[in-house]
Amino acid sequence: MLKIAVAGVGRIGKMHAEIIARQTANAQLVAVADINEDAAKSIAGQLQVEHATVDQLFSASNIDAIAICTSTDTHVELIEKAAKAGKAIFCEKPLSLDVEKVDQSLRAVDAANVPFMVGFNRRFDPGHKSVRDAVQSKAIGEVHLARITSRDPAPPPIEYIKVSGGIFMDMTIHDFDMARYVVGSPVVEVFAMGAVLVDPRIGEAGDIDTAVVTLKHLNGAMTVIDNSRQAVYGYDQRVEVFGSAGMAISDNPRSHNGSVFSETKVQDQNLPYFFLERYTASYINEWAAFVEYVLNGGPSPVSGLDGKAPVILGLAAKESVRTGNPVKVDGV
């Protein structure tokens, strides 16, 4: 039984805490912590566990693993502290907006030799995973092309956008990880085009809201990613890999499977609204994978390198938009 504490119980941390407490075999939620003590108290009450300060988690002897779900700018420091304390570490994405700092935290993890996994939950979505499985089993042969669509239902508040690191660090980071995961070959070149088409205030905040990113992989395969901050029809999440022997697609689920046929049209259901609804299964599977990994060993399901590579790609995409030209990267 793995004893886990959650540091940071905002929207995503709270969800992780609930899944650990209720839907994860061989795991026990023992404490939650948050800079906002009331939030920690309230969630601890609901889940009937203890609440603490973040620092108290590191010294608690009944805690085996810590889920770091605080704001991005605190990740590196907390990873280092947790590593030093000998705890197994789960950290939300992105590890940092700064590659140097990512390296610094990964060195701490290596030094402490503790289990470490990054929270790229989409790898654990059954549909997306089936695409990866089709690649790995060679069911679709050698990979030639990948297409990833990732569009949020609505933009976050402008204040969030200002501290988010920009669309490539906040949204596309998942897609960079997905490209590496499903194609299975390092990325060597990034070309990104961006535009402000959803809301001019996003442009005023120094970001873009619509993007197309093309990746070249070491094996010659190419990935295309498209992003938008606002898909009015719901949370649009599709992954497709095309290869020499076929194609694997992970298409959007619908809210339900009811349809109405009438004289002029057939009306189907829309997409689920956002990630808590869309990716429920992925979060549950992610925790199962983490617990299995910590208890039984083996390679990390989402390693430190898997956490670092998308940060490098995000910075390269940013650079590509700035210069208008493709940017080479060092095979990540």
Query: What residues numbered 33-62 form the site for a copy of itself, per CB under 8 A?
Result: 48
Instruction: Identify which of residues 162 and 254 has a Cβ nearer to a copy of itself in the complex.
Output: 254
Return the residue of 58, 168, 181, 191 that touches a copy of itself, per CB under 8 A: 191
Residue 26 in contact with a copy of itself, rule: CB under 8 A: no
Measured at the CA of 312, the angle between CA 197 and CA 321, to 5 degrees, comes to 30
* CB environment 12-48: b (16+ within 10 A), e (fewer): bbbbbbbbbbeebeebebbbbbbeeeebbebbbeebe
Residue 203 in contact with a copy of itself, rule: CB under 8 A: no
Return the residue of 108, 117, 198, 316 that touches a copy of itself, per CB under 8 A: 198
Part in contact with a copy of itself (CB under 8 A); list of ranges 65-73, 257-265, 289-297, 305-313? 257-265
Distance of CA 297 to the CA centre of its chain: 22
Residue 325 in contact with a copy of itself, rule: CB under 8 A: yes
Residue 25 in contact with a copy of itself, rule: CB under 8 A: no
Return the residue of 251, 274, 322, 331 that touches a copy of itself, per CB under 8 A: 251
- Taking only Cα atoms into account, the Rg of the chain, rounded to an integer number of angstroms, comes to 20
Residue 30 in contact with a copy of itself, rule: CB under 8 A: no
Q: Which of residues 144-183 bind a copy of itself (CB under 8 A)?
A: 144-145, 147, 149, 151
Length reported for the chain: 332
Part in contact with a copy of itself (CB under 8 A); list of ranges 157-165, 179-187, 268-276, 290-298? 268-276
Strands 27-33 and 50-52: parallel
Residue 289 in contact with a copy of itself, rule: CB under 8 A: no
Instruction: Identify which of residues 3 and 129 has a Cβ nearer to a copy of itself in the complex.
Output: 129
Going from the C-alpha of 268 to that of each of 144, 160, 236, 263, 265, the distances in angstroms are 33, 34, 15, 15, 10
Return the residue of 25, 55, 160, 233 that touches a copy of itself, per CB under 8 A: 233
Token representation of residue 59: 């010294």
Pair 185, 218: CB distance under 8 Å:
yes
Token representation of residue 147: 């297409």
Residue 188 in contact with a copy of itself, rule: CB under 8 A: no
Q: Which of residues 109-128 bind a copy of itself (CB under 8 A)?
A: 125-128
Going from the C-alpha of 332 to that of each of 238, 316, 321, 328, the distances in angstroms are 23, 11, 19, 10
Instruction: Identify which of residues 196 and 295 has a Cβ nearer to a copy of itself in the complex.
Output: 196
Pair 180, 186: CB distance under 8 Å:
yes
Residue 202 in contact with a copy of itself, rule: CB under 8 A: no
Q: Which of residues 51-110 bind a copy of itself (CB under 8 A)?
A: none
Instruction: Identify which of residues 149 and 303 has a Cβ nearer to a copy of itself in the complex.
Output: 149
- The rounded distance, in Å, linking the Cα atoms of 53 and 57 is 7
Residue 331 in contact with a copy of itself, rule: CB under 8 A: no
Label residue 111 exposed, middle or buried (CB < 10 Å: 0-12, 13-18, 19+): exposed
Part in contact with a copy of itself (CB under 8 A); list of ranges 26-34, 180-188, 256-264, 288-296? 256-264
Instruction: Identify which of residues 86 and 220 has a Cβ nearer to a copy of itself in the complex.
Output: 220
Residues near 308 by beta carbon (within 8 Å), at least 6 away in sequence: 95, 99, 102, 103, 106, 332
- The rounded distance, in Å, linking the Cα atoms of 227 and 171 is 8
Return the residue of 15, 68, 82, 140 that touches a copy of itself, per CB under 8 A: 140
Instruction: Identify which of residues 231 and 291 has a Cβ nearer to a copy of itself in the complex.
Output: 231
Provide the minimum distance between the beta carbon of 93 and a copy of itself in the complex, in angstroms, as a whole number: 22
Distance of CA 133 to the CA centre of its chain: 19
Provide the minimum distance between the beta carbon of 294 and a copy of itself in the complex, in angstroms, as a whole number: 23
